[in-house]
Amino acid sequence: MSEKPNYGIDAPGVIRNLILSGLAVAVFCIVVPSWQIGPVKLLFFPSLLVSAAFLITPGVLMLIYSKHGKFKHRDRILDCVPWTGAERVLDVGTGRGLLLAGAAKRLTTGKAIGIDIWNQEDLSGNNLQNLERNVDLEGVRDKTEVRNENAQKMSFADNSFDAVVSNLCLHNIYSQAGRAQACWEIARVLKPGGVAVISDFRHTGEYLGVLGDAGLMVEKQPLAWDTFPPLRIITAKKPA
C-alpha cells in the first residue's frame, strides 16, 4: 500500500486536555456518585457527567475536523480563488502543507509558496520535514516552494502574489498589533486584482477591518458549521 499524505491533528494539546479532563470527571462521578456530609447527601453523578460530556464533546469534534472536516474546508477556501492555473500563490502558516498542496494542484504554470515558523503547539508533527514529505506524496514538489518566514514581516516584494490563502494561522499571533501587521503584510504582497482568503475561528472582525483599511474590498462568509470550532472565511480583493 502506497504511503498517504498526513496533515496531522490541529491543536493536539487542546484536544488531549479536553478529552482527558472529561474522562477524569466521568470516572470520578462513577466512582464517587455521591458524598455524605452530615445530614446532607451531595449527588455528583448527574451534574458531573454533564460536565464530562461538555469537555469530551468539543475534543472529539476537533478531532473529527482534523481527520476529515479540514479537507472539505480546504476546498471551500480554495474555491474562493478564480483560478486560471498561472497564479503565484502564497499560503500563510502552511503547517504540513494542506492548503499549499491543494493550491498547487490547481496550477499549471503557476507557483505555490508556503511560509511558516512551525510552532509545535499548533499542529501535531508540525515541521518542515513532514511538509516536504506531503508535497512529494501529493506530486506537487515542482510547483511549490517553502520558506521559514514570519507572517508579520515577509521578505516578498510589494504586489508579488495573485492570491494569498491562510487557515487557522493568524489567531496564533497573540497581540492585536501583531495580527494587524500580518494583515497589512498580506495586503502589501497581494497584486492589484488579486484576492486574499483568510479562514479562522476568532479575530475575523479584526482581519476584516484591517484589510478594509488597507484599501481592499472585503467580504465575510457565514460561519461554517461543519467545522469545529466553526470557522469563518474572509475574502479581500485588491483593486486593480
Are 158 and 180 in a shared domain? yes
- Categorize the per-residue pLDDT at 41 as very low, low, confident or very high, splitting at 50, 70 and 90: very low
- Tell me the three cell numbers of residue 22: 472529561
What integer is the mean pLDDT of 128-148?
96
Are 105 and 53 in a shared domain? no
Q: Is residue 4 part of a domain?
A: no
Of 46-55, 107-116, 175-184, the least confident = 46-55
Domain stops at, among 71, 91, 116: 71
Domain stops at, among 31, 46, 71: 71
| Predicted pLDDT of residue 130 | 96
| Predicted pLDDT of residue 20 | 94
Which are the contacts of 1, defined by CB distance < 8 A and separation ≥ 6? Answer: none
- Tell me the three cell numbers of residue 36: 455524605
Of 24-28, 47-51, 59-63, 227-231, the least confident = 47-51
| Predicted pLDDT of residue 240 | 93
% residues pLDDT > 70 (the chain): 93
Distance of CA 123 to the CA centre of its chain: 9
Q: How far is residue 226's CA from residue 64's CA, in Å, rounded to a whole number?
A: 10
| Predicted pLDDT of residue 63 | 95
Helices and strands: H and E segment counts in the chain: 7, 9
The domain tally of the chain equals 2
What integer is the mean pLDDT of 62-87?
97
